[in-house]
Structure 1
Amino acid sequence: MWAWRQPGPYEFERIEVPAPDPATLGTGAVLARFRAGAICGSDLPPFTGVRSAEFPQTGTVGAPLHEFVGDVVFSASPTIAIGDRVVGTAWPAALLEIVPSSVDRLHVLSPRLDDIHATSVQPLATVLCAAERIGDVRAKRVAVLGLGPIGVLFAAVLHDRGAYVTGVDRVDRTDVAPLFGIDEPVTGHARQWAAELSDVDRPDVVIDAIGHSHDILEDCVEAVRPHGEIFAFGLPEERYVMPMRRFFRKNLTLRAGVTSDWPRHLAAAEIFLAARPELGAAYVTNTFGLDRLQDAFLTALRPAKNRLKVALIP
């Protein structure tokens, strides 16, 4: 079967590898033929050659990609059948003709979403899980730092739940702000925005949708009101230094965590997107064939106006 791998940073090559042997797979295993995928922000550091104990290294067959849609060709689960179209997570790699995953990371799709827009179900599921941890945001002020593909989904979900949403990004997102429920779009650096806030304008909740930076967590602490909450969603570094005394004096709460209960949140994400087709249409801004993988990843790597989610098709 075909597969893609990186011979080095910023490069891809197509190779042939043996198909997975169903006899070697455990209970709950699922094999699906790749129909579409999408690039996550966590795929980008491995693409550039950044090494991490947590993520596949350069050269891992099928990496870096984990968001995918596929047709089931083998299932060791009673809840997923051969021929079902599924969406979810394939860890650690989905750049494969036949993608291995498991029932606890997948959801059987209805016909309501096409393949490309169904790729949005997986990132939205992660946001819905995080929003559940944040809790009731009705009539609260929420700030989302970073209005990339994850940040705009946070804005849409929390606005839908009754929050007043401020979105902060160095890229101008005013064109999509109304559609994604961003009541107050701010174009600029989060540090400057946080420093200029008046006490009355401080948000109750600040969401880090950027990650990979000590500075962002410090900006969250500076911006949020006393007794407020910070949710660190953006992929973190291994260790952080933060303004602990300021955090302590403001009586703040810090939350974080990976997605759990994938099937439930994936199902909820499909319902959310099917009821709002305009979101899916605006969310996936670029689609590339796998023969242009390098271009796709370079596009995803460069923040730009009019660019949100990058999808992939065979």
Structure 2
Amino acid sequence: MTSSSTACVVHGAGDLRIEDRVPAEPGPGEVAVAVAYGGICGSDLHYYHRGAVGDFTVREPMVLGHEVVGHVAALGPGVTGPAEGDPVAVHPATPCGECRECREGHRNVCARSRYLGSAARTPHVQGGFTRRLVVPAGQVRVLPAGLSLDRAVLAEPLSVALHAVRRAGDVRGKRVLVTGAGPIGCLVVAALRHAGAAEVVVSDLLPQPLKVAELVGATSTVPADRPDDPAWPADADVAIEASGAPAGLATCVARIRRGGTVVLLGLLPTGETGFPGNVVVTREITLTGAFRFDTEFDDALTLLAGGLPVDPVVTHRFPVAEAVAAFDVAGDRAVASKVLIDFTGE
């Protein structure tokens, strides 16, 4: 056991500190993971920049991060596997297992779920950007043979993308519009192509995200602020809104065919969002939400081990000692997609 555990801790808006914490020991049914890499998510950036995600405000120091991988460091009492030293990924959610949603197979929307690095409840759920993380054994997944840790770290955001694509239904042979080419949007592109989508058009305001989208399988891209660009599809079968911007939702509704499906994936600003509801009615457009994921986490690991082309999504890596710089770069969409924090040099 190490004498201290370096962690990335947010104390409020703009206040991110690198702190040494007493390393936790696994209790009954728990596993300690020596974290190797963590991916910075949009929610981490919101906690850093605004001290909140939606209505969830940081009220106490909180370790950030929920996209983490590493090696098993220790097993708690009663845990028989995985073995110490095994490379693993950590599923960040702990649903209650008892509510109606859990019983009916919708554990991703469990109201009592605990999610790593979340201020949704107090005390907050401490996150995974720490050198030593303790979680229930059921959240730990041994990596498939041949899957490297720095590739496996994409399992969590890829799971989000896979769930969104599944919410869209069968996309084989279809034309799909994706609004927003951030890390999640680009992983949605890869998931769509794997699922058999024939055409994937991606929009974004910035050229760098669109380049990443092309590298992971977009058949065409279009600047979001050029409504007359001929690359826009006029009759997409499916649209997935991954930007979290009201304009992105309006674009999806406007460019979907009659009877098509729009999946809302990006979290929109709090409060009411206006959109052309009459178009939804008269064209019988299906609107559906996609929130987090459940069993898709295991599917994501399998796809990553099988070579799903997503490596261009990772654009930067920083040692944990430079975590503040990592967050600053991750917040600059003009240059960065997924930014990793590296704990291996500690």
What's the TM-score bracket when you normalise by the shorter of the two chains?
0.7 to 0.9
Structure 1: distance between partners of 2:232 and 2:11: 52
Structure 2: distance between partners of 1:148 and 1:265: 20
Q: Name 2:163's counterpart in structure 1.
A: 129
The question of whether the paired residues in 2 share the 8 Å contact of 1:71 and 1:83 is answered with yes
| Structure 2 unmatched runs, 5+ | 93-115, 118-126
Q: Does 1:308 align with 2:312?
A: no
Q: Name 2:216's counterpart in structure 1.
A: 180
Q: Does 1:204 align with 2:237?
A: yes
2:201 to 155, 161, 166: 166
**TM-score, normalisation: structure 2:** 0.78
Structure 1 pair 160–4 and aligned structure 2 pair: CA distance change class (3 A): closer
Higher strand share: 2
Cα RMSD for the two superposed structures: 2.6
Structure 2: distance between partners of 1:144 and 1:298: 26
SS of match in other structure, 1:162: coil
What code does the residue aligned with 1:162 have? Answer: G
The question of whether the paired residues in 2 share the 8 Å contact of 1:42 and 1:235 is answered with no
Structure 1 pair 141–103 and aligned structure 2 pair: CA distance change class (3 A): farther
Structure 1: distance between partners of 2:232 and 2:66: 41
The question of whether the paired residues in 1 share the 8 Å contact of 2:204 and 2:210 is answered with no
Structure 1 pair 235–60 and aligned structure 2 pair: CA distance change class (3 A): farther
Q: Name 1:228's counterpart in structure 2.
A: 260
Matches within 5 A, 1:110-149: 110-149=144-183
Q: Name 1:239's counterpart in structure 2.
A: 271
SS of match in other structure, 1:5: strand
Q: Name 1:267's counterpart in structure 2.
A: 298
The question of whether the paired residues in 2 share the 8 Å contact of 1:197 and 1:223 is answered with no
**TM-score, normalisation: structure 1:** 0.85
Q: Does 1:12 align with 2:16?
A: yes
Aligned length: 302
Q: Percent identity?
A: 27
The question of whether the paired residues in 2 share the 8 Å contact of 1:47 and 1:58 is answered with no
Structure 1: distance between partners of 2:328 and 2:206: 17
Q: Deviations over 1:76-126 (max 9, x none)?
A: 555534332211344121122221333444321134232222211221122
Structure 1: distance between partners of 2:232 and 2:328: 40
What code does the residue aligned with 2:299 have? Answer: A
Q: Name 2:188's counterpart in structure 1.
A: 154
Q: Deviations over 1:139-163 (max 9, x none)?
A: 2110011111111111111122221
Q: Name 2:101's counterpart in structure 1.
A: none
Structure 1 pair 229–50 and aligned structure 2 pair: CA distance change class (3 A): farther
- Structure 1 residue 292, shift from structure 2 partner: 0.8
Structure 1 pair 278–133 and aligned structure 2 pair: CA distance change class (3 A): closer
Structure 2: distance between partners of 1:203 and 1:123: 24
Structure 2: distance between partners of 1:295 and 1:310: 10
| Structure 1 unmatched runs, 5+ | none
